[in-house]
Amino acid sequence: MSKKNISKISLWILIFSILSLVTVAMVWSPRKELKIRGNADNLLERYDTSDIIEYSGCYINQSGQICINGVDPHIVFKKENIKNVTTIVIKLKDKVSGDLDVQLYFDDGNEFNENDSCIKTIFSGDDNVGFELTNKSLKQIRIDVDSDFNFDDIEIYSGKSIISIDKENMHYERIIYSICFTVFIISILLFIDKKLNFSDTIICFIGRKYKIALRDLLIFIVSLVIGAIIAYFVSGLKFMYSTWLFCSAIVAIILFILISYRTIKDKPEKLLVRLVFVSSITMLFVSPIGHISWDIDSHFKFAISSSSVAHIGLSEPELEVLTNGGEFYSEYRHLCSKY
């Protein structure tokens, strides 16, 4: 195989790798799931399908699956007076194939109403969801779900809830779609390359300017290392991927400005190209579709501090996940103690 062919194959492998990383980063979800469950020794009651006394907008088929056939579908369980309830866990017989929203209503003497309810999501690949309450006395429970589901049972606990944070769910289908999209883009680029031979132009340019290419590559590597050190302290000694990339980008921009001070007057476009590339590739990696930005945790803190947080029933474990357990958490507890 000729040197030219090796260079061309290497270039296309590099392009494919960069496009794959970018497309995966654009659809990747950094969401981590908060898991709430009760202590087995503190189990107060367990409800199954035999304890359902009312179906509305839904029915149960022969296999035990609850099927939706009307508006406002919900199921209501038998009346009891259960005291000191702190945790309710809803379990399904099968893992869900897509995210399933569940709204739990609890009648503590005021009948069913929106204020005495919680909405949680059973994430794809999971089969249960937990709700943390504040030492309530329950007379009745109602569940609202807008999709068919295989209900197993409800477990009601007293005592302190057991809180844990699951690792990220691996969205394999998103990765597959991203790679397929990358292959599609590469196919288009290969077709254009047959007409324009732009890959040969890139290879020739790199061959002539290989020292500059190596220098720029070294700057990126150094920036990633320095960015990791800065992010380690900025994130409160807790590593955050998006903060690391953002800090690395700032370091890279500073280094590019420093090495371009001699040519910036005559050829400012060279520096501009590097700055645009660093900025755009950074935002592609740290701002997936549907997310806010690299500092998404600070946006959560601002939103919570600007809202009527003391009146919306946000539990402490939920807030701790949102705010990353930082100093803001202590400020929030102090704020709520005033109400």
**DSSP strand pairing (151-157 vs 82-92):** antiparallel
Reduced to 3 states (helix: H, G, I; strand: E, B; else coil), residue 99 is coil
- Token couple for 309: 């947080």
- State phi, psi for 231 to the nearest 5 degrees: -60, -30
Q: Provide the pLDDT for residue 281.
A: 79
The predicted model gives 264-272 an average pLDDT of: 79
- CA gap 161, 130 in Å, rounded: 9
Minimum mean pLDDT among 32-36, 156-160, 335-339: which range?
Answer: 335-339
- CA gap 310, 321 in Å, rounded: 17
The predicted model gives 85-110 an average pLDDT of: 85
Minimum mean pLDDT among 180-194, 228-242, 318-332: which range?
Answer: 318-332
Q: Provide the pLDDT for residue 204.
A: 84
Q: Provide the pLDDT for residue 325.
A: 47
Determine the distance from the C-alpha atom of residue 151 to the mean position of all C-alpha atoms in its chain, rounded to a whole number. 26
- CA gap 303, 195 in Å, rounded: 52
Q: What is the pTM of this model?
A: 0.50
- Token couple for 60: 């149960």
Q: How far apart are the first and last CA of the chain?
A: 76
Is the pLDDT confidence value at 186 over 70?
yes
Is the pLDDT confidence value at 338 over 50?
no
* DSSP H helices in the chain: 3-27, 172-196, 198-208, 210-234, 241-259, 268-286, 296-305, 316-323, 327-336
157, HSE (Cβ side, Cα atoms, 13 Å) = 19
The residues that bridge with 162 in the sheet, in sequence order, are: 37
Q: Provide the pLDDT for residue 296.
A: 57
Question: Percentage of the chain surpassing pLDDT 90?
Answer: 5
User: Phi-psi region for residue 135, left (φ > 0), alpha (ψ -120 to 50) or beta?
Assistant: left
The predicted model gives 177-188 an average pLDDT of: 88
Q: Provide the pLDDT for residue 149.
A: 82
pLDDT in tens, 164-177: 766 555 567 777 88
HEC assignment per residue over 15-75: HHHHHHHHHHHHHCCCCCCEEEECCHHHEEEEECHHHEEEEECEEECCCCCEEECCCCCEE
Q: Provide the pLDDT for residue 30.
A: 53
Is the pLDDT confidence value at 33 over 50?
yes
- Token couple for 316: 């402490």
- Of 24 and 217, the one with more pLDDT: 217
Q: How sure is the predictor about 31, in pLDDT bands with cuts at 50, 70 and 90?
A: low
Question: How high does pLDDT run on average in the chain?
Answer: 78
- CA gap 163, 128 in Å, rounded: 14
Is the pLDDT confidence value at 7 over 80?
yes
Q: 19-28, 96-105, 325-334 — which one is most confidently predicted on average?
A: 96-105
Q: How sure is the predictor about 222, in pLDDT bands with cuts at 50, 70 and 90?
A: very high
pLDDT in tens, 37-80: 888 899 998 998 888 888 888 888 877 788 888 888 898 988 88
- Taking CA atoms, 238 is separated from 19, 48, 235, 274, in Å, by 29, 42, 5, 30
Q: Provide the pLDDT for residue 331.
A: 46
Q: How sure is the predictor about 132, in pLDDT bands with cuts at 50, 70 and 90?
A: confident
- Token couple for 105: 């209503």
Reading across the β-sheet that carries 43-47, which strands appear in turn?
43-47, 151-157, 82-92, 128-138
Contact 109, 144 (CB under 8 A): no
The predicted model gives 98-113 an average pLDDT of: 84
**DSSP strand pairing (66-68 vs 74-77):** unpaired
Residue-wise over 247-264: b if at least 16 C-beta within 10 A, else e? bbbbbbbebbeebbeeee
Whose tokens are 């020292």? That residue is 211
Is the pLDDT confidence value at 141 over 50?
yes
The predicted model gives 280-289 an average pLDDT of: 72
Q: Which amino acid is at 334?
A: H
